Amino acid sequence: MHYRRADVAGGTYFFTVNLAERKRTLLVDHVDVLWVVIQKVKATHSFHIDAMVILSDHLHALWTLPGTDADYPTRWALIKAGFSRCLPQDERRNSSRIAKGERGIWQRRYWEHLIRDESDYSNHVDYIHYNPVKHGHVKRVAEWPYSTFHRYVARGIYPPDWGGGVAMNDEKDFGE
């Protein structure tokens, strides 16, 4: 089956990318590895991370691509493959994945949405940042360290208690 994807050069896209085994916690267990891989891909295939949150079994990201480029599938393929190569091979793989020489870390597909306007952009940024609360990982947005929320607070875009929290001092600057 052929899936049709939006391909607007210079577009801003929202993504949801999931682990194959949703009960695993690989993304937060190896968040530093994931971040290094993302930075390497950004260095060779430029894009801007507008907003991002990394949860235990999935992540959400809002990217803006360069004006002449719409190739986010290559970027995600490189991120997923690069991350997978850094982890021990202890995941379950079905016969299809084995036959194709694939690891069983990521779901093959991911969700993407082309951002339409400022309201759509704002709604997706809020969704990304509130996601750790939605999934019950924390009670307040500011408690989750693997998020661009803290960058938004530092820039005065969100108040520190947005979503009911107070910004932390030991957060990572995901997104830049």
Active site residues: 146
Tokens for 20, please give them: 């194959």
Tokens for 123, please give them: 């709604």
The residues that bridge with 17 in the sheet, in sequence order, are 59
Judged by DSSP in three states, 1 sits in coil
What is the rounded distance in angstroms from the CA atom of residue 126 to the CA atom of residue 98?
39
Q: In what order do the strands lie in the sheet with 111-114?
A: 48-54, 58-64, 12-18, 111-114
